[in-house]
Amino acid sequence: MSETALFIKGVDKFYGPIDHGVHAVKQLNMDVKKGEIIALLGSSGCGKTSTLRMIAGFEAVSRGTISMKGREVQTFAPVKRNVAMAFEGYSLYPPLTVRENIAFALKASRLSQSVVDEKVANIAKLLEIEDIMGRYPSSISGGQQQRASLGRALIRDADLHLLDEPMGQLEPQLRALLRGRIKHFIKERGLTAILVTHDQTEANALADRIAVMEGGVLQQFDTPQMIKERPANLFTGTFVGEPPMNVFSAGISGTSDTVSFGLNEGVKLDYKASDFSHAVRAELMKRSKVVLGIRPYAVRRSEGGVGAKVAVNQWLGDQTHIAADFAGGTMVLVEHDRTNLTIGETVAIRLDPSSLHVFDGDNGRAISHGQELA
Amino acid sequence: METTSTLEKTLRLIALTLVVIFFMFPIFWIFLMSFQTNETILAIPPSIIFTPTLSNYAALITGKLTTAAGTLDIAFMRNLGNSIFLSVTSVALALVLGVPAAYAFARHKFKGSEDIAFTLLSFRFAPPLLVLLPLTQYFQWLGLSDTYFGLIWVYQLICLPLILWIVRGYFEDISADVEYAYRIAGHSWFATFRKIALPLAGPGIAAAGLLAFIFAWNNFVFALVLASADKQPVTVGALAFVTSSGIQYGQIASAIVLSVTPTLALALYAQRYLVEGLSLGAVKG
Amino acid sequence: MTTLQLKNITKRYKTNPVLDNLSLDVADGETLVLFGPSGAGKTVLLRLVAGVIDPDEGQILIGGEDVSDIDAEYRGIGMAFQNFALFPHMSAFDNIASPLTATNATKDVISAGVLKVAKLLKIDHVLTHHPKALSNGQKQRTALARALAGSPPLLLLDDPLRNVDAKLRFEMRLELPRLLAAQGATVVYVTQDYKEAMALGDRIAVMSQGRIRQIGTPEDIYNTPADIEIARLFGDPTINLLDVTPKSGPDGVYVELSNVKVPLPGMPASVVGKTSVIGLRPETIVFTDAGASGAIPVTVEAETPLNEKTVTLVLTARGREILVSRPAGTPGPTSGPAHIAVHGNTTFLFDKESGGLIRSAAIPMTRNGEAA
């Protein structure tokens, strides 16, 4: 597991002249271990697709190096890099059936017909496309095309599997099931995969580590759990998490025994000094302005909390989403039961210090994430 | 990677230059010819070093053509005026008739609408020579031959299908939802046509109008047969330079330069709209 | 506010019916969600109501009045489109003002009206921008503002959140109920997202192939789906569906999953021996100890987080796949052998052949898997 499959060092990508064109990827450093699944996550234009295309070799590297198996490959043609790729636009060969499309990926491997047949059958079963194997790409739905395209990439025995928005078109009823199966398939075979996605659910579901990108800059590269529980900055904190993290700007004051946050509309949150470690408290007291963040599921309703007025109560079957007016903004709560609050009623909410994220008011960098992770 | 892309750029530049030279050379050569006398033009080998003369332009503008055999009267300036008048009026009429028709064909699919639209287009398929003879006869009966009105009418055969089919495409590219939104907001269909469809198809209409103008301007056969000397456009008038004492290459060249100038100026002016219109990006919100 | 009635509406393209003898009543001030896959006829239905296309058969009544002969511009409707359909050559202000310029209102009244609705939707700072210069979220808000500007008694919203990113979609989902309540309009809201449907709808009409398959409150649809297809459309992850044949025992009807009895209390004896499908929502399945009653042995295949939930894919001894979901942060197995049990809430039994719901049954078990 510890062998490095991919090593990206100081990579820049400019569209147009170097240093003057559009700076799509900025000083990117990343390492991917063999057998890992990595997700490049970000909104459109964040540089994730440029990065993937540079790894695949479809896009030239403006500066820096990309190494695979210890060799620099950034000048290699795509075919020399032994990578398999599933494209966002499916790109199936129109004159071939789905079966032929998938088997085509094995042409170069010179496997016997029976081995090829078996592999194709396995992939078809995995992706629930057995009934469309004889059809042509033009006669199947977008979701089916995407599954076929995914199959064509996964069937190959490549050093690196690159998946560009692999599940965006999938039928929602199939998504959860296929995510589980594909993850199992990749892990079982020890494949190394990098997927590009704007859908954090997909990234969270499949990836061992997520690279959050924005504005061409890698914001954080860590496990889904760490990204969720210890976001490096305000961007990652609010970008990852569904529903998004609640954030409120706050002033800060304190004594030797207390730490107090002053929010808009005179809302005050008082904590004991012992709720924060010495180092964190020292950091907090250096600042006058911070941004407080708390995830919707971590907001608790409890006696003696701060009042918030219920504005919305939406039951979604297995979760209830509640929005309440709080400190001049909106506080969102997620509860896993059926909750029926009356619109306009005041509920008391508590922001547990152990789930509180504090970010710098100026540069958005994380200062603390409540208590240390268990 | 940088070296290959520089090489690529250089090669691309060379290829582009070759193409430009290939297409621009005749125009450039004609431009030079228009400042030469017949003698220097016909000299062998040809030379691009000569003493420029304005005599060709002078002859065209004064209407006096001096040849070895004597002086001829030519009506080039009148021809030029005719061309401008005929083309502008024809295109204007075609726009007035064609744009609403194009809108109707784009938005209202009724029984037989495709057939009618196709019939109109088919006017462009038939070689003009085929319809010319009967047309001449009809026009003589109707008293339309050798009138501006008659010519403009015949020019609709050229302009109307062009405008109809091009502009229809632009109307179809406007999302129906955008028009629905305006209707639902409380506006009549005519207000929707005027305030939404027309402005959004504007670049396309301009492009179609310009193309129709060029086709009308370049028309030769209809005008040759249906118009007498005082109503002829430049395309027909240029025949006067083929005289009994030889072909006046210098004058032809300068006549070409003069007659190309209006369309060229128009195209350059409208270039922005043309690119916008032809790239179909005009209606994306 | 007004009412909307559709009576036996049929609309065909060529010979295919897009809407097939469809009838629908929307009450005064109600928010009705039309939910269904693409191609179900939802958008066509909205356009018929708006009056930009005409039905082949049937009647549409707005406020009790037949509107067949009333043109779109006189129907008093506000509509927002999936692709926003903003006027690209007009500023955001002029876009929003368009329902007001159609009236005889003075410039000041129009300005005031636009500003009011723009403030409500937090786009008053971009009113001079043309659509091209607006972000996706701002476009969406401008489109909504335009629909609201004329204070129409009937609002048609055609999947207005489809083309904005997940975060904006979530924010708008929370904001919309307040906006719509303030507007006091009767609303028909089209969506393909079941969460939006459940969150926003007073009632949901589930459509497919030009027909309404089921209509009811979110609770009705989620807890008593009319058939397998509808059950599959609501819930994330999707409901688990397993072929079973109910048997009869001393304690009533039960089914067997991996040779473990799962009782179906209240199920009529008539289902015994009938080829059926049992539907288990992932959140009604819990991990339990090997010794607990009703514990079914499984193997954990993969674990994936999903919107504050943890979803586990498990295999039964017979290789059947089951998705189990639980609140994020609660303990559960991540790999290897484990045991599951069905708890509380609701379990469905569908007829295998017709797909229709036979009955939903509450299985009396507590969250930790112990029989209550």
Q: What CATH number did the domain enclosing B81 receive? A: 1.10.3720.10
Let me know whether B267 and B160 are in one domain.
Answer: yes
- Chain B residues in contact with A18 by the CB 8 A cut-off are 2
Distance from CA of C346 to the nearest CA of B (A): 43
Let me know whether B53 and B101 are in one domain.
Answer: no
**Chains with 3 or more CB pairs under 8 A to chain A:** B, C
Specify if C296 maps to a domain. Answer: yes
Let me know whether A298 and A228 are in one domain.
Answer: no
> Per the structure, how many domains does chain B have?
2
CATH number at C132 reads: 3.40.50.300
Let me know whether B278 and B239 are in one domain.
Answer: yes
Answer with the one of B40, B73, B106 that is the final residue of a domain.
B73
Residue A108 has pLDDT above 90, yes or no: no
Q: What is the pLDDT of residue A109?
A: 80
> Per the structure, how many domains does chain A have?
2
Asked which of B107-116, C135-144, C171-180, C281-290 is least confident by mean pLDDT, the reply is: B107-116
Let me know whether B62 and B162 are in one domain.
Answer: no
Answer with the one of C225, C248, C278 that is the final residue of a domain.
C225
Phi, psi angle pair for C244, to nearest 5°? -145, 165
For residue A244, what is the nearest residue in chain C, using CA coordinates? C167
DSSP C5-55: EEEEEEEEETTEEEEEEEEEEE-TT-EEEEE--TTSSHHHHHHHHHTSS--
Give percent helix, percent strand, percent coil of chain B, each to the nearest 5: 75, 5, 20
Let me know whether B63 and B82 are in one domain.
Answer: no
Q: What is the pLDDT of residue B67?
A: 65
Spatial contact of A338 and C284, defined as CB atoms under 8 Å apart: no
Let me know whether B50 and B87 are in one domain.
Answer: no
Residue C168 has pLDDT above 60, yes or no: yes
Let me know whether C57 and C195 are in one domain.
Answer: yes
> pLDDT tens for residues C115-124?
999 998 989 9
Let me know whether C175 and C262 are in one domain.
Answer: no
Specify if A240 maps to a domain. Answer: no
- Chain A residues in contact with B2 by the CB 8 A cut-off are 18
The boundaries of the domain holding residue A194 are 4-233
Let me know whether A160 and A18 are in one domain.
Answer: yes
Let me know whether A80 and A228 are in one domain.
Answer: yes
Answer with the one of B35, B55, B73 that is the final residue of a domain.
B73
Answer with the one of C198, C225, C252 that is the final residue of a domain.
C225
Q: What count of CB pairs under 8 Å joins A to B? A: 5
- Chain A residues in contact with B7 by the CB 8 A cut-off are none
Let me know whether A209 and A326 are in one domain.
Answer: no
**Chains with 3 or more CB pairs under 8 A to chain C:** A, B
Distance from CA of B2 to the nearest CA of A (A): 9
Question: What is the C-alpha end-to-end distance of chain B, expressed in Å?
Answer: 38
Let me know whether B226 and B267 are in one domain.
Answer: yes
Mean pLDDT of the C301-313 span: 85
Specify if A23 maps to a domain. Answer: yes
Mean pLDDT of the B108-116 span: 83
CA distance B54 to B59: 9
b/e for C278-294, b at 16 or more Cβ within 10 A?
Answer: bbbbbbbbbbbeeebeb
Let me know whether C24 and C161 are in one domain.
Answer: yes
Specify if A241 maps to a domain. Answer: no
Mean pLDDT of the A188-212 span: 93
Residue B240 has pLDDT above 80, yes or no: no
Let me know whether A208 and A280 are in one domain.
Answer: no
- Chain B residues in contact with C101 by the CB 8 A cut-off are 187
Let me know whether C128 and C61 are in one domain.
Answer: yes
CA distance C31 to A162: 44
Let me know whether C73 and C128 are in one domain.
Answer: yes
Let me know whether C98 and C32 are in one domain.
Answer: yes
Specify if C175 maps to a domain. Answer: yes
Answer with the one of C197, C225, C253 that is the final residue of a domain.
C225
CA distance C265 to C364: 8
Using pLDDT thresholds of 50, 70 and 90, give the confidence band for residue C359: confident
Q: What is the pLDDT of residue B276?
A: 63
For residue A76, what is the nearest residue in chain B, using CA coordinates? B1
Let me know whether A170 and A278 are in one domain.
Answer: no
> pLDDT tens for residues A154-167?
999 899 999 998 88
Specify if C233 maps to a domain. Answer: no
Let me know whether A210 and A293 are in one domain.
Answer: no
> Per the structure, how many domains does chain C have?
2
Mean pLDDT of chain B: 84
Distance from CA of B210 to the nearest CA of C (A): 22
CA distance C132 to B281: 12
Using pLDDT thresholds of 50, 70 and 90, give the confidence band for residue C366: very low
Asked which of A129-143, B242-256, B267-281 is least confident by mean pLDDT, the reply is: B267-281
- Are C99 and B186 an interchain contact pair (Cβ–Cβ within 8 Å)? yes
Using pLDDT thresholds of 50, 70 and 90, give the confidence band for residue A374: very low
Interface confidence (ipTM) of the complex:
0.86
Spatial contact of A324 and A342, defined as CB atoms under 8 Å apart: no
Cis link prior to A17 (omega < 30° from 0)? Answer: no
- Chain C residues in contact with B285 by the CB 8 A cut-off are 83-88, 131-132, 139
Q: State the best of C81, C141, C158 to mutate against chain B, taking most chain B CBs within 10 Å.
A: C81
Specify if C371 maps to a domain. Answer: no
Give percent helix, percent strand, percent coil of chain A, each to the nearest 5: 30, 35, 35
Q: Which amino acid is at B214?
A: I
Distance from CA of C331 to the nearest CA of A (A): 13
Q: What is the pLDDT of residue C363?
A: 59
> pLDDT tens for residues C245-256?
999 988 888 888
- Are B188 and C73 an interchain contact pair (Cβ–Cβ within 8 Å)? yes
Mean pLDDT of the C20-34 span: 95
Mean pLDDT of the B234-255 span: 79
Q: What is the pLDDT of residue B124?
A: 75
Let me know whether A171 and A116 are in one domain.
Answer: yes
Specify if A327 maps to a domain. Answer: yes
Q: State the best of C47, C52, C54, C100 to mutate against chain B, taking most chain B CBs within 10 Å.
A: C52
CA distance A57 to A51: 10
Answer with the one of A206, A233, A260 that is the final residue of a domain.
A233
Q: What is the pLDDT of residue C344?
A: 57
Q: Which of residues 18-77 of A touch B (CB under 8 A)?
A: 18, 60-61, 75
For residue A57, what is the nearest residue in chain B, using CA coordinates? B1
Let me know whether C246 and C221 are in one domain.
Answer: no
Answer with the one of B55, B73, B91 that is the final residue of a domain.
B73
Let me know whether B116 and B228 are in one domain.
Answer: yes
Q: What is the pLDDT of residue B228?
A: 78
- Chain A residues in contact with B5 by the CB 8 A cut-off are 60
Let me know whether C290 and C215 are in one domain.
Answer: no
Q: Which alpha helices (H) appear in chain A, and where do they start and end?
A: 48-56, 98-104, 113-126, 142-154, 172-189, 200-206, 224-229, 234-239, 278-285
Let me know whether C19 and C101 are in one domain.
Answer: yes
Let me know whether A53 and A185 are in one domain.
Answer: yes
Which of C273, A141, C78 lies closest to B180 in space, CA to CA?
A: C78
Let me know whether B279 and B140 are in one domain.
Answer: yes
CA distance C302 to C304: 7
- Chain B residues in contact with A75 by the CB 8 A cut-off are 1
Let me know whether A215 and A266 are in one domain.
Answer: no
Specify if A293 maps to a domain. Answer: yes
Q: What is the dihedral of CA C55, C61, C62, C66, to 10 degrees?
A: 90
- Are C86 and B284 an interchain contact pair (Cβ–Cβ within 8 Å)? no
Which of A199, A203, A196, A171 lies closest to A86 in space, CA to CA?
A: A196
> pLDDT tens for residues A316-357?
988 899 999 999 999 999 998 888 899 999 999 999 888 899
Let me know whether C89 and C207 are in one domain.
Answer: yes
Q: Report yes or no: C153 at the B interface, CB cutoff 8 Å.
A: no
Let me know whether B153 and B53 are in one domain.
Answer: no
DSSP A192-234: -EEEEES-HHHHHHH-SEEEEEETTEEEEEE-HHHHHHS-SBH
Q: What count of CB pairs under 8 Å joins A to C? A: 116
Calculate the alpha carbon distances from A201 to A260, A283, C307 in Å: 35, 33, 7
Chain A residues with CB-CB distance to C under 8 A?
A: 43, 172-177, 179-181, 183-184, 187, 198-201, 204-206, 224, 238-239, 242-244, 295-297, 311-312, 314-319, 321, 323, 330, 332, 334, 336
Which of A127, A115, A234, A212 lies closest to A174 in space, CA to CA?
A: A127
Specify if A25 maps to a domain. Answer: yes
- Are A75 and B5 an interchain contact pair (Cβ–Cβ within 8 Å)? no
> pLDDT tens for residues A343-353?
999 999 999 88
- Chain C residues in contact with B176 by the CB 8 A cut-off are 52
Let me know whether A278 and A200 are in one domain.
Answer: no
For residue B192, what is the nearest residue in chain C, using CA coordinates? C73
> pLDDT tens for residues A201-249?
889 889 999 999 999 999 999 999 899 889 999 999 999 988 899 999 9
CATH number at A326 reads: 2.40.50.140
Let me know whether C154 and C215 are in one domain.
Answer: yes
Residue A279 has pLDDT above 90, yes or no: no
The boundaries of the domain holding residue C63 are 4-225
Answer with the one of A201, A233, A265 that is the final residue of a domain.
A233
Let me know whether B61 and B196 are in one domain.
Answer: no
Residue C368 has pLDDT above 50, yes or no: no
- Report the greatest alpha carbon distance in chain A: 76
Q: What is the pLDDT of residue C300?
A: 93
Answer with the one of A233, A254, A283 that is the final residue of a domain.
A233
Calculate the alpha carbon distances from A44 to A49, A52, A54, A216 in Å: 9, 13, 17, 11
Let me know whether C268 and C173 are in one domain.
Answer: no
Q: State the best of C195, C304, C306, C310 to mutate against chain A, taking most chain A CBs within 10 Å.
A: C304
Let me know whether B135 and B50 are in one domain.
Answer: no
Beta-sheet pairing, A160-164 with A83-86: parallel
- Are C304 and A239 an interchain contact pair (Cβ–Cβ within 8 Å)? no
Mean pLDDT is highest, among A143-147, B76-80, C176-180, C188-192, for C188-192
The boundaries of the domain holding residue B50 are 2-73
Question: What is the C-alpha end-to-end distance of chain C, expressed in Å?
Answer: 48
Name the DSSP letter for residue A263. Answer: -
Specify if C245 maps to a domain. Answer: yes
CATH number at A202 reads: 3.40.50.300
Residue C106 has pLDDT above 70, yes or no: yes
Let me know whether A14 and A136 are in one domain.
Answer: yes
CA gyration radius, chain C: 25
